[in-house]
Chain A
Amino acid sequence: MTATATTTSIVQFDYDRPLWRRVLATREFAIIGLLAAVILVASFAVDGFAQPLTYNYLILDVAPILFIALPMTLVMTTGEIDLSVGSMAGLASVTTGALVQSGAPFEVAAIIALAVGVVGGAFNGYLVTVVGLPSLAVTIGTLALFRGIAVGVLGTTAVTEFPEFWTALAKAKLSGTPIPWIVVPFLVLLVAFAVLYHFTPFGRGIFAVGLSADAAKFSGVNVGRTKFVVFVLAGAVAALAGIFYTLRYGSARGDNATGLELQVIAAVVLGGVSVFGGRGKIHGVIAAVLLIGALSSALRLSGVTSDIINIITGGLLIISVVGASLFAWAKRRRSALSPARAAASSAS
């Protein structure tokens, strides 16, 4: 269980300090604190932010990113990446639309679209684990492939005839609150992924694979199966997000959800998941998605143009990644400077 120890290494060296200080010093807490700060400042300083409608729009806007961020966290913790999720969401949207257009009931179309997501994810997983290709190359390929099929099927046309029940449900609010109903299925998935990721042997395997695939293999983790499963999950949840996207905008188009993968990956990295694998926390990722959403919403309400918003969110990401590297560097330096203390720390 060396893997377990190392994944919590950020707080591990602080065992001589009280629990609350160790929690406060984590990157996840920094993101949650920043999210709270943005909401607090915006509520006072930005006209129109402090109203229930803001939270309704905010959650609807980030919902597809929230969904896909769950499996993306797992994929990136194994040290892999899936760039095809935006295209898969688009393909699922088109699949749903094309089937509904040809007369299939929406429910059947949605299930087939989910199956397409599973198959697409399995295809990525097969190429990465069985054929042994790097996931960056594989999913750049399937990014183009899935998008190509999506655009090919519907061309430049859009399907807009979806059952009123489902389109209304996608935007419905929990009675008496501004919270969209979509948070219910999301919370179910969140709990499932959090348990899988942090509290099961399979989840431990994900971290182990990301830290060192060889070490994981010798510890009895089935590396290939672990990676395959997380890619299938990514495909399936991307398809689910694509179906939600279709219902929310009431429109299935070949270019739906274009570029979504980069928003998801940016949020996952900002949320503290290491791009090299082996480290991550679900709550950090969720906070990061909400942080980017809240910041964009506040900036839009302040009349900031979209190019400036992109610069700010991009800058935030760079600062967070650079900050994490500095943090690790400072830690290494400190350990090197005081060997006695480092020894004491690792002994505990």
Chain B
Amino acid sequence: MTFSLKRVSAGIAVTAVAAMTLAGCADTGSGDSGSGSDDGGAAASGDVSITLLPKNLGNPYFDASEVGASAAAEDLGAEFEQVGPTEATPDGQVSYINTAAQQGRSALLVAANDPNAICDALNEARDAGTKVVTFDSDTSADCRDLFINQADAAGIAKVQGDLIAEQIGEEGEVAILSATANATNQNAWNEAFIEYVNETYPDIEVIDTVYGDDEDQKSFDQTASLLQSNPELKGIVSPTTVGLAAAARYISDSDAKGEVALTGLGTPNQMREFIEDGTVAAFALWNPEDLGTLAAYAAGALVAGDIEGAEGDTFTAGDLGEFTVGADGVVLLGDPFVFDADNIGDFDF
């Protein structure tokens, strides 16, 4: 009968040891994959520690941001780590924001999964002395110190307008393949796009906006129906990476290849084959690596006390140059970056 008691005690011991061993291994692992600095305990006072919290882990876009942020942190002499939930949910992020506050990290770089749900947690972290810089997706302005904006609507509208105008010879019918009907970003960009095209290229007519809901198959189907119902269509603009890749896949196998121009916002890895096979001549996006770099330098400047996040503050972000804080604590990365056959080989995200 001592058998059962022994079994239970052994179970406790083994599980505890296993959990702690795994914890130890994983800790070492994250140290290796990070900047190779000391492991992420509470930073000693005076040391700068930066935590990157993307929307979720395993996302190539944010992996590129991590490369930039990690390099910038190394340049600043800061300890750096990336943490995050596996699913892009606000409650998952709140746990990690709380953890950063408990650890007394000097700065937190966050791509917010919800503008409001993580607000209280961010403000608690700020009360504990952590500087908060949002990037890619902002929160309400009163719960962060700075927002690194990848591109503004005017910049995106202009680069897409200029690209499609160049590809179709500045005249003809153009349609938009967007994300969901109430996607805040895409709606603002589309409005600015239509306005820019109407003013700058009077011979181009934007005839329709359809929604692929950021689903691959639906975007693919919407592309098919756009081409069938609009035989005069000269070009499609898709301001979403999912839509652009799906549209490119449809066009590359259809008669429209070479006849209908396609551009928009996409990632190099998704678009590489379509650039190479000539379906797409050029597309745009900001560089997520630069976004991470700028966020880390901005955090460094905040921690060092060089800036407070007020409008007009200026700081230097390594090779990216000098940046000025705009209204509402927003720092603009710059104009979108255009990817084409000549430079796409330089990028992997």
A16-B1, A25-B5 as given contacts; A308 in contact with B22, CB under 8 Å:
yes
Q: Give the contacting residue for A300; candidates B18, B22, B96, B118; CB below 8 A.
A: B96
For the complex, give the distance between the alpha carbons of A53 and B103 in Å. Answer: 11
Chain B interface extent, by class:
35 or more
Residue from the list B12, B83, B103 in contact with A48, Cβ < 8 A: B103
Interface residue? B20 (CB, 8 A): yes
Interface pair B98/A47, CB less than 8 Å apart: no
A163: interface (CB < 8 Å): no
Neighbouring A residues of B120 by C-beta, 8 Å: 167, 171, 249-250
Q: With A29-B8, A301-B99 given, is the CB distance from A306 to B86 under 8 Å?
A: yes
Out of B15, B29, B104, B182, which one reaches A157, CB within 8 Å?
A: B182
What sequence of 0s and 1s flags, for each residue 293-317 of chain A, a beta carbon within 8 Å of any chain B beta carbon? 0011111111111111011100110
Cβ contact within 8 Å between B102 and A51? yes
How many pairs of residues, A versus B, come closer than 8 Å at their CB atoms?
Answer: 159
User: Which residues between 247 and 261 of chain A lie within 8 Å of chain B, taking CB atoms?
Assistant: 249-251, 253, 255-259
Contact with A along B114-132 (1 / 0, CB 8 A): 1111111000000000000
Task: Verify A307–B4 contact, CB threshold 8 A.
Answer: no
Bitwise, A231-270 to B at CB < 8 A (1) or not (0) is 0000000000000010001110101111100000000000
Interface residues of B in 1-48 (CB under 8 A from A): 1, 3-5, 7-8, 11-12, 14-16, 18-20, 22-23, 26-27, 29-31, 39-42
For the complex formed, measure the closest distance between the CB of A269 and the CB atoms of chain B, giving whole angstroms. 15
Q: Bin the interface of chain A by size.
A: 35 or more
B4 touches A250 (CB 8 A): no
Q: Is A276 an interface residue (CB 8 A)?
A: no
Chain B binder among A34-42, A68-76, A104-112, A114-122: A34-42
Taken residue by residue from 5 to 47, chain A's Cβ proximity to chain B (1 for < 8 Å, 0 otherwise) reads as 0000000001011000100110101100110011001000101
**Cβ 8 A contact of A41, one of B16, B95, B99, B117:** B16
Is A57 positioned at the interface, with any CB of B under 8 Å from its CB?
Answer: yes
Residue B57 at the chain A interface, CB threshold 8 Å: yes
Query: Which A residues are CB-close (under 8 A) to B103?
Result: 47-48, 301
Q: Compute how far the CA of A175 lies from the CA of B11 in the bound complex, rounded to whole angstroms.
A: 39
B172 at the interface (CB under 8 A from A): no
Whether A158 is near chain B, meaning CB under 8 Å from some CB there, is yes
Q: Does A319 contact B (CB under 8 A)?
A: yes
> Are A305 and B30 in contact, with the CB atoms below 8 A?
yes
The distance in angstroms between the C-alpha atoms of A307 and B86, with both chains bound, is: 6
Q: Is A54 an interface residue (CB 8 A)?
A: yes
Q: Nearest chain B CB to A271's CB is how many angstroms away?
A: 14
Does B89 have its Cβ within 8 Å of any Cβ on chain A? yes
Pick the residue among B5, B81, B101 that contacts A21 (CB under 8 A): B5
Interface residues of A in 89-127 (CB under 8 A from B): none
Q: How distant is the Cα of A143 from the Cα of B19 in the complex, in angstroms?
A: 32
Chain A residues lying within 8 Å of B101, measured Cβ to Cβ, are 53
Q: A140 near B: Cβ within 8 Å?
A: no
Q: In the complex, which residues of chain B have a beta carbon less than 8 angstroms from the beta carbon of A320?
A: 15
- B3 and A330 contact, CB distance less than 8 A: yes
How far, in whole Å, are A331 and B3 apart by their CA atoms in the complex?
A: 10
- Return chain B residues, CB-CB under 8 Å to A315: 18, 22
Asked if B313 is an interface residue, CB under 8 A from chain A, the answer is no
Contact of B11 among A47, A157, A319, A334 (CB under 8 A): A319
* Cβ contacts under 8 Å, B99 to chain A: 48, 297, 300-301
Distance in angstroms between the alpha carbons of A34 and B291 in the assembled complex: 43
Inside 8 A of A330's CB, which chain B residues have their CB?
3-4, 7
Contacts of B91 in A (CB 8 A): 245, 249, 256-257
A319 CA to B27 CA in the complex, in Å?
Answer: 22
- Give chain B interface residues in 110-153, CB to chain A under 8 Å: 114-120
B252 contacts partner chain A, Cβ-Cβ < 8 Å? no
Interface core residue of A53, A302, A312 (most chain B CB under 10 Å): A302
Report if A2 contacts B (CB, 8 A).
no
Q: Verify if A156 is at the interface (C-beta below 8 Å from B).
A: yes
Residues B11 and A323 in contact, CB atoms below 8 Å apart: yes
B85 at the interface (CB under 8 A from A): yes
Q: Let me know if B19 and A155 touch, CB within 8 A.
A: no
Contacting pair A47 B114 (CB below 8 A): no
Closest Cβ–Cβ distance, residue B191 to chain A (whole Å): 18
Kindly state whether residue B183 has any CB partner on chain A within 8 Å: yes
| Min CB gap B141→A, angstroms | 14
Partner of B183, one of A156, A310, A319: A156
Q: How far is the CA of A25 from the CA of B85 in the complex (A)?
A: 36
12 extra A-B contacts, CB within 8 A, seeds A253-B117, A300-B99, A320-B15: A24-B8, A37-B16, A41-B16, A48-B102, A156-B180, A251-B114, A258-B89, A299-B23, A303-B83, A306-B57, A307-B86, A315-B18
List 25 A-B residue pairs with CB atoms under 8 Å apart, sorted by A's residue number: A17-B1, A21-B5, A29-B8, A47-B42, A48-B99, A51-B102, A53-B102, A57-B95, A61-B98, A156-B180, A158-B116, A245-B91, A249-B90, A249-B91, A250-B119, A301-B99, A302-B26, A302-B39, A304-B23, A305-B30, A306-B85, A306-B92, A307-B57, A310-B86, A330-B7
The 9 closest A-B pairs by CB, nearest first: A303-B40, A251-B117, A47-B41, A249-B117, A160-B116, A308-B26, A304-B26, A57-B98, A48-B102
